[in-house]
Amino acid sequence: MSDGDAQEGKSESPGIYFFEYEGQVVKNLSRGMRVVSVLQLAAAVLLAAVIALILVKITAKSAIIQLVAGLPVVALGLYVIIAAVGGVILGSGSKAFSESVKKMDTDLLGKGFRKVRSYLILTGVVTIVGLAIAVLGFLGIQALYLFR
């Protein structure tokens, strides 16, 4: 960037000093998020393929087997959707961060943080629901042992 551009950017984007000297930190975050985003989307595709194979296998079986195997398949299906949504959110956040460094724009930096917040809300809600299911399942098994 030329000196003239720097002066011009300064008037348009007040966060210029931060990006000039600490832009690499934001770039690293953007790179880390992009890697996770791509891997999460890859995991969603692979998991969808695994689900499809399980579905093919259980369709010819009895209704009880279909029910027993079907529930985890539904849970895995939900996980595929959540992983895909998480991957898309992270990809969008990563893009916002890298654009913020390129354009030296604090609004884009803020957008990146909003995307990280959305990802953490998704992760948090999924973890809380998963934890609740695990605790209820554990208590249920303990209750079965106590009252059998």
Q: Which residues bind other proteins (CB under 8 A)?
A: 3-4, 6-7, 10, 14-18, 20, 22, 25-26, 28-29, 32-33, 35-36, 39-40, 42-43, 46-47, 49-50, 53, 106-107, 109-111, 113-114, 116-117, 120-121, 123-124, 127-128, 131
Nearer to other proteins, 3 or 59 (CB): 3
Which residue matches tokens 């296998």?
Answer: 57
Nearer to other proteins, 50 or 71 (CB): 50
Answer yes or no: are the C-beta atoms of 121 and 114 closer than 8 Å: no
- Which amino acid does the sequence have at 110? G
Nearer to other proteins, 47 or 66 (CB): 47
Nearer to other proteins, 25 or 74 (CB): 25
**Cα–Cα distance measured from residue 104 to residue 111, given in angstroms and rounded to the nearest whole number:** 13
Smallest gap from Cβ 9 to other proteins, in A, equals 11
CA nearest to 19, candidates 6, 31, 36, 8 = 6
C-alpha angle 39/45/48, rounded to 5°?
A: 140
Nearer to other proteins, 95 or 109 (CB): 109
Smallest gap from Cβ 72 to other proteins, in A, equals 13
Smallest gap from Cβ 107 to other proteins, in A, equals 7
Smallest gap from Cβ 126 to other proteins, in A, equals 10
Report the b/e string of 105-130 with b at 16+ CB within 10 A. beebbebbeebbebbeebeeeeeeee
